[in-house]
Structure 1
């Protein structure tokens, strides 16, 4: 099993999209990835999103956002064995969890910081926005209160959740679209393999910046 994961990671490195390692200060953006229990979240500054973005529509005044994805029944509450089996055995609806940050998103945060190109950040934003199910006037459709008080919320999402597309696999695929060196997203069933890969192979700062 370990050998297969190493092979998959090496293959992912060879097939990684361009832009993972920005080579100039002007073409470099910092993003964050953090573990929250068994989930991973992508942390982005608010100005990564346009004013009419579905993310900004939820919390327009936020300084940043921590965004995760998962099964609609299992993610919002305490995970039970029955929910876990149901979520994995066949495709189930999904939700996005959006936590609005009042502080600069990468300031004092626990997790991994990864540098990507501007093109990579734009690709990541498009991927996240495309995951929202649009409601009236394109706004997100609320799916319940968030896990971190009034500054967080669940919204209906796509695609479906299943054994081959779990929460951390989804995060890994979004990061790979940004050019982040995550290897093969499908191997990241657990959050620490994803953050560990980024710790080992990711570029934590922008070239030429202190």
Structure 2
């Protein structure tokens, strides 16, 4: 009986410690939203690039025009890597994440505890997910990201720096649909390096107002303007 009591006490302390750590993690992320890395500024004067951040409530992507004066994304991510990009796709969505999670969890119904824990462990390599989109495919989680040309150039460099040696190497046969593809990427996903910290780091580098740490989607989008 004494053994069971000691075991229950230890288990309770372990559980309490876990709850405290989770609360500290979430609380820190939330608090830092109110201490952004850059003060809010007016929208950049023209010429500027009209870009967006897309959020599905958990994960964030950049969305850029396919072509601009600074880059043609189709030259980096050629249409031959995609099964069938829809006509009129004028935008490219770019997101970074855990390799196993990306490839084996196309919907939340496919999520398992072991897959989630594997992603948080940092054991898996990362991938870059690229989709070509039409404007009407953005959905409700779109946030305006007006960028000056120098800001956009820094975000381009951020994306290119994610690719090994700056080259886009597609994962053969890996697609969620006809208009997306996956590419090899540097880094590994873990509790302190999430898809959203990748998005936020690029925005900070570009001088966009964003939280100093962005493990969650809301920490990326808090200071952005939601598209009506």
Say yes or no: TM over 0.5: yes
Partner of 1:115: 146
Deviation at 1:107, TM superposition (A): 8.2
Q: Is 1:12–2:63 an aligned residue pair? A: no
- Give the direction of change, closer, same or farther, for the CA distance of 1:54–1:177 in structure 2 (3 Å limit): same
Q: Alpha carbon RMSD of aligned pairs, Å?
A: 3.1
Aligned to 2:130: 98
Pairs within 5 Å for 1:6-155: 7-13=31-37, 16=38, 21-26=42-47, 28-36=48-56, 38-48=58-68, 49-50=71-72, 53-56=75-78, 58=81, 62-76=89-103, 77=105, 78-101=110-133, 103=134, 105=135, 109-110=139-140, 111-133=142-164, 138-142=167-171, 144-147=173-176, 149-155=177-183
Q: CA deviation at 1:91?
A: 4.0
Q: Distance in 2 between matches of 1:22 and 1:55?
A: 29
Is contact 1:50–1:56 with CA below 8 Å preserved after alignment? no
CA distance in 2, matches of 1:51, 1:166: 24
- 1:74 aligned counterpart, secondary structure: helix
Q: Number of aligned residue pairs: give it.
A: 190
SS at match of 1:194: helix
- Structure in which a larger fraction of residues adopt helix: 2
| TM-score, normalised relative to structure 2 | 0.69
Residue 196 of structure 2 contacts residue 220 of structure 2 at CA under 8 Å; is this kept in 1?
Answer: yes
Q: Give unpaired runs (5+ residues) of structure 2.
A: 1-23
- Report the structure number with the largest CA radius of gyration: 2
CA distance in structure 1 between the partners assigned to 2:132 and 2:46 by the alignment: 27
Q: TM-score, normalised by structure 1?
A: 0.75
